[in-house]
């Protein structure tokens, strides 16, 4: 059997995230088993970036809602950090203040962040945090080095139902290729980046099934709708993969 399916069930079954792929130990459908070739450094870097964005997206599906916060902490030019180590310390100090407020209110803080230094020397920190009453004001007051921008995720330009856009944006780095509106490759805008998340967001182990064949079309389970579906080629194996996210229809007990 050359096809596998990994199913991740989140939020008590309200969200089902699936990836189907051809095992690299086998040939493509209707083709003989082939010898596994060692992927190139570039292929592995691309796979690692895809995996980082995938884990980010799945954690967001499990712990973040659409009215939670997407925000940015900016730096005044005079307050820019000399290096990434200093920027990390700035984030940690501000985050601890926010975390203390959440704890005092009886809540856990779930956070994602990407510290970015641009090619022209500017620094900023993108973050995603869960929302509780009064949190926006605390997040703003906790940052001492510049401005704060906060918006509900559903009102941001990176909103989509399975968090693909936001996860890709939050995990971008100096190797990420971006495109202009006309489809041409844009000039690099990041000199360096550092992505991380809080540790209190474990994911369950996915259920792994072996499939007899690769279906040309997938349909949502009864009681669910297909929030997204994407097909592509794994750059390390050269084989097709498919991922899709199903969300339970509200008010449906089936």
Report percent pLDDT > 70 for the chain: 92
The yes-or-no verdict on residue 254 having pLDDT over 50 is no
Listed in sequence order, the residues at least 6 apart from 130 whose beta carbon sits closer than 8 Å to its beta carbon are 63, 64, 65, 68, 69, 107, 108, 109, 110, 111
Name the domain count of the chain. 1
Q: How confident is the model at residue 218 (pLDDT cuts 50, 70, 90)?
A: very high
**Sign of the CA dihedral running 172, 173, 176, 179:** positive
Q: Does a structural domain hold residue 140? A: yes
Q: Does a structural domain hold residue 131? A: yes
DSSP-derived 3-state class of residue 72: strand
CATH code of the domain containing 165:
3.30.70
Q: Does a structural domain hold residue 241? A: no
Q: How confident is the model at residue 238 (pLDDT cuts 50, 70, 90)?
A: confident
pLDDT in tens, 49-97: 889 999 999 999 999 999 999 999 999 999 999 999 999 999 999 999 9
The yes-or-no verdict on residue 24 having pLDDT over 70 is no
Q: Does a structural domain hold residue 167? A: yes
pLDDT in tens, 150-206: 999 999 999 999 999 999 999 999 988 888 888 888 888 899 999 999 999 999 999
Say if CB 225 and CB 249 are below 8 A apart.
yes
The yes-or-no verdict on residue 119 having pLDDT over 80 is yes
25 burial (CB, 10 Å; 0-12 / 13-18 / 19+) is: exposed
Rounded to two decimals, what is the model's pTM?
Answer: 0.88
59 burial (CB, 10 Å; 0-12 / 13-18 / 19+) is: buried
**What residue numbers bound the domain in which 136 lies?**
63-197
Q: Does a structural domain hold residue 74? A: yes
DSSP-derived 3-state class of residue 144: coil
What confidence score (pLDDT) does residue 185 get?
Answer: 84
Q: Does a structural domain hold residue 139? A: yes
């Amino acid at each position: 059997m050359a096809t596998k399916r990994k199913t991740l069930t989140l939020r008590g079954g309200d969200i089902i995230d699936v990836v189907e792929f051809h095992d690299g130990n086998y040939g493509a459908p209707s083709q003989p088993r082939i010898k596994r070739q060692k992927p190139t450094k570039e292929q592995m870097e691309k796979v690692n970036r895809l995996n980082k964005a995938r884990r980010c997206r799945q954690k967001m599906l499990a712990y973040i809602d659409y009215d939670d916060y997407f925000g940015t902490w900016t730096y005044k030019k005079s307050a820019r950090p000399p290096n990434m180590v200093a920027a990390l310390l700035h984030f940690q100090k501000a985050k601890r203040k926010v975390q203390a407020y959440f704890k005092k209110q009886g809540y856990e803080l779930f956070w994602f962040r990407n510290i970015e230094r641009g090619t022209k020397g500017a620094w900023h920190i993108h973050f995603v945090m869960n929302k509780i009453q009064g949190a926006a004001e605390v997040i703003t007051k906790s940052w001492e080095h510049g401005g704060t921008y906060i918006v509900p995720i559903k009102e941001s330009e990176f909103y989509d139902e399975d968090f693909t856009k936001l996860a890709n944006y939050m995990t971008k780095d100096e190797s990420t290729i971006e495109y202009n509106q006309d489809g041409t490759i844009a000039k690099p805008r990041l000199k360096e980046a550092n992505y991380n998340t809080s540790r209190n967001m474990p994911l369950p182990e996915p259920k792994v099934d072996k499939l007899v064949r690769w279906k040309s079309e997938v349909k949502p389970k009864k009681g669910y709708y297909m929030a997204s579906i994407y097909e592509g080629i794994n750059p390390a194996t050269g084989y097709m993969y498919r991922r899709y996210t199903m969300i339970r229809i509200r008010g449906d007990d089936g």
